[in-house]
Structure 1
Amino acid sequence: MQKRRNDIGWGIVLLWLTVMLHGCGTADSVPNAGKQEETPVVKPETRIVKTVHGDVEIPANPQRIVTQGYLAQFLAFGVKPVGAPYWEIESPHVKDLAAGIADIGQIDGGSVEKILALNPDLIVTVGGDEKLNEQYRKIAPTIVIPYGTYHEVHEEMKAFGQLLGKEQEADNRLAAFDEDVKQAKASIAGLVPAGTTFSIMGPFDKEFYIYGDGVNRGGQAIYQQLGLTPPESVRTDLIQKKVDAQSVSTEKIAAYAGDYIFLDISGGAEFDESSPVWASLDAVKNNRIFKLNPDRFWPYDPIAVQAQVKEVASMLQERLGEKKAQK
Structure 2
Amino acid sequence: MTKLNRKFWGAILIALFLVVLSGCGGTGQSTHSESASNTAAATNSGGTDQAAKDKSSRTEEKLASDAEQDTRIVSTVHGDVEIPAHPQRIVTQGYLANFLALGIKPVGAPYWELESPYVKSLSAGIEDIGQIDGGSVEKMLSLNPDLIVTVGGDEKLNEQYRKIAPTIVIPYGTYHEVHVEMKAFGAMIGKEMEAEEWLAVFDQKVKKAKASIQGLVKEGTTFSIMGPFGKDFYIYGDTVNRGGQAIHQQLGLTPTDKVRKDLINKKINALSISQEKMADYAGDYIFLDISGGAEFDENSPIWASLDAVKNNRVFKLDGDRFWPYDPIAVQSQVEEVAAMIQERQGTTK
TM-score interval w.r.t. the shorter chain?
A: 0.7 to 0.9
TM-score w.r.t. structure 1 length?
0.87
Q: Quote the Cα distance in structure 1 between the aligned partners of 2:48 and 2:124.
A: 57
TM-score w.r.t. structure 2 length?
0.82
Tell me if structure 2 keeps the 8 A contact 1:191–1:321.
Answer: no
- 1:240 aligns with 265
Residue of structure 1 aligned with 2:104, choices 79, 100, 107? 79
In the alignment of these two chains, the number of paired residues is 297
- 1:116 aligns with 141
- 2:49 aligns with 32
- 2:231 aligns with 206
Cα deviation 1:23-62 (Å, max 9, x = unaligned): xxx99x7343696953532213222222222221111211
Unaligned 5+ runs, structure 2 = 1-42
- 1:88 aligns with 113
Give the 4+ runs in structure 1 shifted more than 4 A.
33-37
Q: Report deviation, 1:202.
A: 0.5
Secondary structure of the residue that 1:198 maps to in structure 2? strand
Tell me if structure 2 keeps the 8 A contact 1:203–1:209.
Answer: yes
**What letter matches 1:102 in structure 2?**
E
Cα deviation 1:136-186 (Å, max 9, x = unaligned): 000000011111111000000100110121111111111110100100000
- 2:203 aligns with 178
Q: Quote the Cα distance in structure 1 between the aligned partners of 2:346 and 2:208.
A: 16
Q: Which structure's CA Rg is the greater one?
A: 1
Q: Report deviation, 1:69.
A: 0.5
Unaligned 5+ runs, structure 1 = 1-25
Q: Quote the Cα distance in structure 2 between the aligned partners of 1:122 and 1:308.
A: 30
Structure 2 residue 216 is the aligned partner of structure 1 residue 188: no
Residue of structure 2 aligned with 1:98, choices 123, 132, 142? 123
Q: Quote the Cα distance in structure 2 between the aligned partners of 1:267 and 1:98.
A: 26
Superposition RMSD on alpha carbons, in Å? 1.8
- 1:274 aligns with 299
- 2:3 aligns with none
- 1:11 aligns with none
Q: Quote the Cα distance in structure 2 between the aligned partners of 1:191 and 1:321.
A: 10
Q: Quote the Cα distance in structure 2 between the aligned partners of 1:134 and 1:51.
A: 14
Secondary structure of the residue that 2:203 maps to in structure 1? helix
Structure 2 residue 171 is the aligned partner of structure 1 residue 154: no
Identical aligned pairs, as a percentage? 76
Q: More deviation in 51-60 or 218-227? A: 51-60
Q: Quote the Cα distance in structure 2 between the aligned partners of 1:86 and 1:268.
A: 21
Query: Which runs of structure 2 are paired with 1:10-25 in the superposition (5 Å)?
Result: none
- 1:46 aligns with 71
Q: Quote the Cα distance in structure 1 between the aligned partners of 2:53 and 2:102.
A: 45
